């Protein structure tokens, strides 16, 4: 078994909206400014937070999710990162012990120590009780450090330190400071690429952390390399010679990096394009339309007539199209924003979409989907959307939460178009994905 060692830390919290993303991005920038190479991972199927970490660290941020990706894929990513980095930071999801597979369980599985950030605003001795509960809820968990956030002053900070048990250290207290807040919208933080001042803000956040925290490199953690994936070895390069164009701009940015890596591994050449600004791609063999925020760019998408006409021509030529969530909405006849203003879309799927104030879908899902030969493949993914759509097609499959009926999403097949609200994790079913994008049979 190949082992690599690297200092590593998982940063979690007592709950969501505690400042995890700001803290992790600030720490990544702090250590990067000290000359270290930092690799950041994000727990859960998150598309937005990783962009902040990429800007902060200067290299790609990768999702880790034991349920969607499987244990081997997570260990493989960490083993690779340990071989070429000075520090690994992992941002947790929700609260430390929340979820079907919690951040605490992931930390135990990966053998990584935990640093918890606790919102200490309007709190005194309860800070110690909360820290003790987080640390002792799972006996195997390695949680020995906490950070107090939104602290009123040095007197308040000392009160919080005094409340902690002896085996838990407070490594710093962050003041109430608007610099430590990032703007949000209906699916989470406003995207990093929409904040031109963000790079300078990250430097200021890093400086604040240096002033208020005792930042020391954690101890090295051993990471092992799992056996290679037998399915990929057997598949070879079924997409060799094919060019896949994928949408990538402010309207369509929710893409798992592993998905693109898999398509390359299967032999495809990838070509990014912007439905907002470009002309339609030419001489391509397939299209990938991922999720994002098309509802925030209705005018630009509608006005780019060259793109709309070109994508229709590609669809009519019969090339495969895979569309997820916002990409599916773009294929509809029309899409309305949260104010009810309706705009025409591509008209390649019979139906209409409408943004809503309420969350309409959230969860990890899986579906058994037939390939073009009728063979079923199980593929996993995630949905998170604030829109409803009425599509005049019978679903070819239904994605659902395993062992639960709380969340279901239809999967549509219309000619060579495969569309759903689900953001698929391609490596969970590489044979099916190769079939979607036109692998030779």
| Beta strands at 38-43 and 87-91: parallel, antiparallel or unpaired | parallel
Phi, psi angle pair for 436, to nearest 5°: -55, -40
The residues, any chain, with a CB within 8 Å of residue 230's CB and separated by 6 or more, are none
| Rounded-to-integer distance, Cα 367 and Cα 397, Å | 7
Judge whether 42 and 77 are in contact, CB under 8 Å: no
| Rounded-to-integer distance, Cα 204 and Cα 162, Å | 29
Q: Using the CB atoms, write b or e for 214-231: b if 16+ within 10 Å.
A: eeeebeebebebeeebee
User: Is 383 part of the annotated catalytic residue set?
Assistant: no
| Beta strands at 376-385 and 361-370: parallel, antiparallel or unpaired | antiparallel
- Written as six digits, the tokens of 192 are 């990093």
DSSP state, residue 345: -
The residues, any chain, with a CB within 8 Å of residue 273's CB and separated by 6 or more, are 245, 246, 247, 248, 280, 281
Which residue of the set 6, 61, 325, 383 is catalytic? 325
Query: How big is the CA angle at 167 (ends 163 and 34), to the nearest 5 degrees?
Result: 95
What is the DSSP code string of 6-18? EEEEEEEESSSSS
Annotated catalytic sites, by residue?
Answer: 325
């Amino acid at each position: 078994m190949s082992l690599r060692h690297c200092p590593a830390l998982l940063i979690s919290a007592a709950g969501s909206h505690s400042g995890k993303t700001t803290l992790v991005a600030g720490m990544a920038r702090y250590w990067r400014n000290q000359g270290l190479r930092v690799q950041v991972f994000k727990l859960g199927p998150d598309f937005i937070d990783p962009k902040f970490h990429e800007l902060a660290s200067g290299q790609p941020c990768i999702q880790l999710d034991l349920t969607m990706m499987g244990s081997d894929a997570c260990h493989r990513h960490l083993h690779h990162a340990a071989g070429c980095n000075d520090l690994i930071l992992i941002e947790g999801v929700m609260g430390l012990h929340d979820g079907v597979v919690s951040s605490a369980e992931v930390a135990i599985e990966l053998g990584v120590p935990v640093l918890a950030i606790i919102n200490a605003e309007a709190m005194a001795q309860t800070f110690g009780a909360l820290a003790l509960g987080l640390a002792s809820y799972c006996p195997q968990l390695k949680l020995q450090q906490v950070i107090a956030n939104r602290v009123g002053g040095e007197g308040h900070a000392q009160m919080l330190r005094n409340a902690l048990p002896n085996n838990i250290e407070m490594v710093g207290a962050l003041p109430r400071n608007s610099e430590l807040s990032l703007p949000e919208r209906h699916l989470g933080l406003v995207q990093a690429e929409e904040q031109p001042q963000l790079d300078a803000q990250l430097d200021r956040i890093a400086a604040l952390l240096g002033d208020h925290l005792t930042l020391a490199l954690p101890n090295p953690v051993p990471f092992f390399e799992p056996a290679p994936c037998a399915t990929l070895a057997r598949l070879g390069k079924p997409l060799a010679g094919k060019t896949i164009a994928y949408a990538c701009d402010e309207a369509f940015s929710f893409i798992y990096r592993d998905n693109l890596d898999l398509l390359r591994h299967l032999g495809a050449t990838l070509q990014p394009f912007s439905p907002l600004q470009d002309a339609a791609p030419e001489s391509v063999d397939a299209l990938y339309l991922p999720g994002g925020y098309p509802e925030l760019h209705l005018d630009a998408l509608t006005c780019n007539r060259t793109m709309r006409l070109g994508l229709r021509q590609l669809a009519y030529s019969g090339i495969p199209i895979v569309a997820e969530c916002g990409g599916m909405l773009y294929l509809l006849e029309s899409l309305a924003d949260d104010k009810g203003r309706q705009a025409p879309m591509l008209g390649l799927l019979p139906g209409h979409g409408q943004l809503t104030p309420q969350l309409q879908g959230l969860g990890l899902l899986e579906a058994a989907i037939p390939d073009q030969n009728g063979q079923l493949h199980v593929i996993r993914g995630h949905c998170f959307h604030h829109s409803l759509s009425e599509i005049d097609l019978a679903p070819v499959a239904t994605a659902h939460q395993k062992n639960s009926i709380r969340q279901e999403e239809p999967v549509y097949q219309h000619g060579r178009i495969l569309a759903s609200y689900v953001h698929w994790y391609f490596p969970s079913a590489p044979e099916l994905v190769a079939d979607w994008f036109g692998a030779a049979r």
